[in-house]
Amino acid sequence: MAVDFDLIVAEGLAALAAADGSGALERWRVAHLGRSAPVMAALGTLGALPKEDRRAFGQRGNQARQALERAYEEAAARVRQAELSRDLEAGAVDVTAPGRRRGRGRLHPTTRTLRKIYAIFGEMGFQIYRSRDVETDEYNFSLLNIPPHHPARDMWDTFYTTAPNVILRTHTSPGQIHVMRERCPEPIRVILPGMCYRYEQITARSDIQFYQVEGLAIGRRITMADLKGTLTAFAHALFGSEVRTRFRADHFPFTEPSAEMDVECFVCEGQGCPVCKQSGWLEILGCGMVHPVVLQNGGYDPREFSGFAFGMGPQRITMLMHKIEDIRYFFSNDVRFLEQF
């Protein structure tokens, strides 16, 4: 029986060319490569052929089948590719439409600034020490070299409670005494953060509650040069390594000598602008060498030990960095403010 394999292949390829899409292709595969396909049927007759013809017949038949299979694979790949392209095209989205927001949580801006301060001083070996908000008059004033009725007390407008000698701390400085008494005679490097309270009118520039961050370093050879170096390093880390600092004499009863550190205004680079009130400088913190009376009250002998302390307002720093004009934003908690951080 003569089988025209060439014809089978030619007919198959012609039919394949007409098959578009994966359905037609599958039908073609069943028709031309399935069990009852002509080439398969022809190969199925192989056993009935004379022995001497079988080899040549089988060879031709297999070649024909392989040719069809190859053609099929190529066509299938083409169809898959075409279909994928169609899908991709159909699945395009408008990437300019807004993304899906899950609603991110945020830290309070003061927490962010506090963490920055912790991190900078942490690198310089300062630990964090916290103490209570409601204090005794003794810790808030007397032990810090501010005796009762002393004119220096006018520097702090104080909230008194109905309990005798119990006040709301006006600064984080009572923590200096707490930490010294706890750790004496170890050397100390601590940052004392916390909420403070002042009997003041609530305005855009002052609030009855505010955060303060204080620092204290006590050791056997700590100098005012170390104070200047440490705080300048802090200013560089927080505001940029190019800002200049200046130290002016000032007065705090618990430090002597005392100073105010100004940072060159980073808004106008020292040229004068509304943020620095045209002065070119921003008041950032008060500082000084720990007063010998305070050292003594903390248990340290001023003949052996010296130290420095400093205090700043993280809210004020946040205000300067982000040009915030009203300190009341911090505790009024309007999400339209908070969401900007």
Q: Which positions ≥6 away from 68 have C-beta within 8 Å?
A: 8, 9, 12, 13, 16, 32, 33, 39
Question: Using CB under 8 A, which residues numbered 177 to 196 contact another protein?
Answer: 183, 186-189, 195
Window 72 to 101, contacts with another protein (CB under 8 A): 97-98, 100-101
To another protein, the closest distance from the beta carbon of 135 in angstroms equals 7
Q: How far is the CB of 319 from another protein (least distance, A)?
A: 15
CB neighbourhood size of 29 (10 A) = 18
Q: Which residue pairs from 141-144 have beta carbons closer than 8 angstroms and sit at least 24 positions apart in sequence?
A: 143/174, 143/177, 143/294, 143/297, 144/173, 144/174, 144/176, 144/177, 144/253, 144/254, 144/294, 144/297
122 interacts with another protein by CB under 8 A: no
Nearer to another protein, 80 or 150 (CB): 150
Q: β-strand 188-197 against 134-136: which pairing, if any?
A: unpaired
Site for another protein in 299-338 (CB under 8 A): 302-303, 306, 330-336, 338
Near another protein by CB under 8 A, which window of 55-63, 84-92, 229-237, 319-327? 229-237
| Residues of this chain, 21-60, that bind another protein according to CB under 8 A | none
Which three-class secondary structure state does DSSP give residue 1? coil
What residues numbered 232-271 form the site for another protein, per CB under 8 A?
A: 232-233, 244, 246-251, 253, 256-259, 264, 268-271
Whose Cβ is closer to another protein: residue 173's or residue 306's?
306
Looking at the DSSP bridge assignments, the partners of residue 278 are: none
Closest contact distance (angstroms) between CB of 275 and another protein is 13
Question: How many residues bind another protein, per CB under 8 A?
Answer: 106
Cβ atoms of 145 and 294 closer than 8 Å: yes
Among 13, 24, 33, 293, binds another protein (CB under 8 A): 293
Distance CA 202, CA 44 (A): 101
